[in-house]
Amino acid sequence: MDNRKPVTLHRLREMHAAGEKIAVLTCYDAAFARLLDGAGVDALLVGDSLGMVLQGRTSTLPVSIEEMAYHTGCVARGNRNAWIIADMPFGSYQESAETALRNAALLMKQGAHMVKLEGGGWTASIVRLLVERGIPVCAHLGFTPQSVHALGGYRVQGRDEAAARVLCRQAEELAAAGAELLVLELVPAAVAHELTGTLSIPTIGIGAGAGCSGQVLVLYDMLGVTGGEPLKFVRNFMDGSASVESAVRKYVAEVKDGRFPDDAIHSF
């Protein structure tokens, strides 16, 4: 797909307005960036999940801003047309607005097109600060891995009515603050679908049902190389695929036409 035009923020808005699903995968290096971009993935998320899938850690918490900057640069050098989102790791934006701006700027200098931060409520002011300074922001609600200990483990969020109301209020606050994308992780499909219908910005689901504006998976999960029992919302696209590239193309196609995820199988 060398002839495709670069995916820009304007293009993502157009896709959302037209109802075209947005296909996202995590990516951590130049070789995979080149492959994923060529296979038609719309956005590459340089996730702090690298702490678990690359470094073998038990959570994302130890990942540093320097490590995120390094991997963002690697992805940027391998990419031509996909939109690049870089995670702001734990501790890189919680301390102060000045710290958040400095670290977001570092990721942008390495080639990110957008930064992602987790949580709602207090984060709206950080989002507003970054957006006002020309840094596009992706927000992240539901299960937020950097808060795994506070949340009591890997749990679905927003199951009861009160929790769902809080999640929806925070999503609206983040969109009003200028967030251009919203990742919803481990959220009941019905809640994510309703929220997607009310927000003006695209939602990217991971374990949040087919009603989101797009989907994201950890690359190594969808290739079936992480080992162990796969999470409910994950599908191994290498099954029946002749190559990694064909598996990625299958993922993109099934996200685009609504076959993945299947709410009867992959959702809560």
Give residue 94's pLDDT: 96
Distance of CA 232 to the CA centre of its chain: 18
Domain CATH number, residue 170: 3.20.20.60
Residue in the block written with tokens 């009861």: 160
- DSSP string for 179-191: --EEEEES--HHH
Give residue 129's pLDDT: 98
Specify the length of the chain in residues: 268
In a domain, residue 261? The reply is yes
Phi, psi at 10, each rounded to 5°? -60, -40
In a domain, residue 2? The reply is no
Residue 13 burial by CB count (10 A; 0-12/13-18/19+): exposed, middle or buried?
middle
Task: Give the pLDDT band (50/70/90) at residue 1.
Answer: very low
CB atoms < 10 A from the CB of 124, how many?
20
In a domain, residue 82? The reply is yes
In a domain, residue 110? The reply is yes
Asked which of 33-37, 227-231, 236-240, 256-260 is least confident by mean pLDDT, the reply is 227-231
Q: Rg of the chain over CA atoms, in angstroms?
A: 17
Contact (CB, 8 A) for 226 and 234? no
Task: Tell me the three state secondary structure of residue 194.
Answer: helix
> Residue 197: which domain range?
9-266
| CA nearest neighbour of 86 among 135, 32, 133, 157 | 135
Answer whether residue 234 shows pLDDT above 90: yes
Q: Which residues contact 147 (CB under 8 A, 6 or more apart)?
A: 118, 119
Q: Locate 233 and state its tokens.
A: 């919302």
Report the number of distinct structural domains present in the chain.
1
The amino acid sitting at 260 is F
In a domain, residue 201? The reply is yes
Contact (CB, 8 A) for 258 and 211? no
CA distances from 247 to 159, 238, 242 (A): 32, 5, 8
Query: Which residues participate in catalysis according to the annotation?
Result: 185
In a domain, residue 4? The reply is no
Answer whether residue 52 shows pLDDT above 60: yes
Q: How does pLDDT run across 168-223, given as a tens digit for each residue?
A: 999 999 999 999 999 999 999 999 999 999 999 999 999 999 999 999 999 999 99
In a domain, residue 202? The reply is yes
Q: How does pLDDT run across 71-106, given as a tens digit for each residue?
A: 999 999 999 999 999 999 999 999 999 999 999 999
In a domain, residue 154? The reply is yes
Q: Is the pTM of this model over 0.75?
A: yes
Give dist(CA 154, CA 148) in Å, integer: 7
Helix boundaries (H) for 8-96 = 9-18, 30-38, 50-53, 65-78
Give residue 144's pLDDT: 96
Task: Give the pLDDT band (50/70/90) at residue 152.
Answer: confident
Task: Give the pLDDT band (50/70/90) at residue 125.
Answer: very high
